[in-house]
């Protein structure tokens, strides 16, 4: 997912930039839409001053990144987005964590921007240059951590795109900025890619204690998956199939009474069930393997194990895997 964030002062050209990027296949989101929706619920007129005050209130109540987090919840990872109305550093930081993010500072001089506001005739826009400047100065910075901090957003922008000439010239500058974003676009590593899949597989686990999954990969191809739960034909753990797990037994105790198979175990057994060799493969697991699963990994000929989190009882297992020549890697995703 590529995210392009837009920040800038009133009438700098953010809407024009957003419309142009929409034409390039980016889906549009505006943090202001969250504020406008709240204003609608409260019966408030959507004037600039009302929206600024309401945005500050929402950040103060739910945290400075609240608008970004609410907007991110509506996004899909297989799409690219342009996000307008970023007015607080925490909003930009939240977006940066979500994908390949670049913040564009859309810039135009104050006199140019004031003329644009007069031409568009929006409700609540300033009627004089002095009033325009006064309203704008309220947005630059504030001692209130939840208030708009446009100046700080502009400072942390990855790229500055000037909009002082014609619309065609502005679009050419946006194209250049997009090329720079394309050059810096980062794809996940193969290990991260497969671990992300393993974490999705874990959601199918039916064990009441914890959800764990493994996938087995050979030559960058998934050949088997497994998640933890009761054996085929036995009532699922989450339906009461395993008394130990359903009684939430103390971790590490009475393991011999647990009816659930582990994710690594199921992935290996599934490959065997379908007659697929896993010799020389890599196993990705959301937890490091236990002692029993480690024995199976070694004897199955798996040569590499990548795990996301350390299993509480893993030291002996990891020592044995190393002794057997199995490569180990911990990868936090």
**Can you tell me the mean pLDDT for 85-99?**
89
pLDDT at 280: 97
Residue spans of beta strands (DSSP E) within the chain: 2-8, 27-30, 81-84, 100-107, 159-162, 213-218, 221-227, 282-287, 304-309, 327-330
More confident residue, 26 or 38: 26
Q: Tell me the average pLDDT across 233-241.
A: 91
Would you list the DSSP string of 94-148? Answer: HHHTTSEEEEEEEE--HHHHHHHHHHHT-TT--SSHHHHHHHHHHHH--SSTTS-
Say yes or no to pLDDT of 25 above 90: yes
Looking at the chain, the whole-number percentage of residues with pLDDT higher than 70 is: 95
pLDDT at 248: 81
Burial of 236 (0-12, 13-18, 19+ CB in 10 A): middle
Q: What is the pLDDT of residue 14?
A: 94
**Residue 140's pLDDT band (boundaries 50, 70, 90)?**
low
- pLDDT greater than 90 at residue 122: no
List the catalytic residues: 264
Average pLDDT, integer, range 248-270 = 84
Choose between 318 and 142: higher pLDDT.
318
Residue 31 has pLDDT above 80, yes or no: yes
Among residues 280, 278, 327, 287, which one has the least CA distance to residue 307? 287
Highest mean pLDDT (candidates 29-38, 106-115, 176-185) = 106-115
- The pLDDT value recorded for residue 143 is 65
Both tokens assigned to 187: 């794809």
Q: What secondary structure, in 3-state letters, does 201-231 show?
A: HHCCCCCCCCCCEEEEEECCEEEEEEECECC
Question: Which of these, 13, 24, 18, lies nearest to 166 by C-alpha position?
Answer: 13
Q: Supply the mean pLDDT for the chain.
A: 90
pLDDT at 150: 84
Highest mean pLDDT among 59-63, 128-132, 281-285, 308-312: 281-285
In this prediction the pTM is 0.64
What does the pLDDT read at residue 157?
A: 94
In this prediction, residue 193 carries a pLDDT of 95
pLDDT in tens, 171-230: 999 999 999 998 877 778 999 999 999 999 999 998 888 899 999 999 999 999 999 999
Quote the pLDDT of residue 139.
62
Indicate if the pLDDT at residue 141 is higher than 60.
no
pLDDT at res. 158: 93
Residue 312 has pLDDT above 90, yes or no: no
pLDDT on residue 6? 96
pLDDT of amino acid 313: 66
């Amino acid at each position: 997912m590529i995210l392009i964030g837009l920040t800038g002062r009133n009438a700098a050209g953010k809407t024009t930039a957003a419309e142009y990027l929409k034409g390039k296949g980016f889906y549009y989101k505006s943090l202001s839409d969250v504020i406008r929706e709240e204003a609608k619920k409260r019966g408030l007129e959507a004037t600039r001053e009302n929206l600024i005050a309401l945005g500050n209130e929402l950040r103060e109540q739910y945290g400075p990144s609240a608008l970004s987090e609410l907007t991110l919840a509506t996004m899909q990872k297989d799409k690219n987005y342009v996000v307008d109305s970023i007015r607080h550093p925490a909003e930009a930081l939240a977006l940066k964590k979500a994908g390949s993010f670049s913040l564009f500072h859309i810039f135009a001089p104050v006199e140019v921007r004031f003329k644009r506001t007069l031409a568009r005739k929006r409700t609540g826009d300033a009627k004089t240059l002095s009033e325009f400047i006064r309203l704008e100065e309220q947005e630059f910075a504030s001692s209130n951590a939840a208030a708009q901090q446009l100046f700080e957003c502009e400072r942390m922008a990855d790229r500055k795109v000037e909009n002082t000439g014609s619309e065609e010239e502005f679009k050419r500058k946006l194209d250049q900025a997009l090329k720079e974003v394309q050059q810096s676009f980062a794809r996940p590593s193969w290990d991260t890619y497969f671990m992300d899949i393993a974490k999705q597989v874990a959601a199918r686990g039916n064990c009441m204690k914890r959800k764990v999954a493994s996938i087995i990969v050979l030559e960058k191809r998934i050949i088997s998956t497994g998640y933890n739960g009761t054996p085929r034909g036995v009532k699922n753990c989450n339906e009461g199939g395993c008394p130990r797990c359903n009684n939430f037994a103390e971790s590490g105790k009475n393991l011999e009474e647990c009816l659930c198979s582990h994710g690594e175990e199921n992935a290996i057994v599934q490959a065997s069930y379908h007659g697929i060799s896993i010799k020389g493969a890599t196993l990705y697991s959301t937890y490091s393997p236990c002692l029993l699963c480690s024995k199976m990994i070694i004897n199955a000929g798996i040569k590499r194990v990548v795990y996301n989190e350390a299993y509480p009882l893993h030291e002996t297992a990891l020592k044995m895997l190393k002794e057997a020549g199995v490569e180990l890697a911990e990868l936090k995703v």
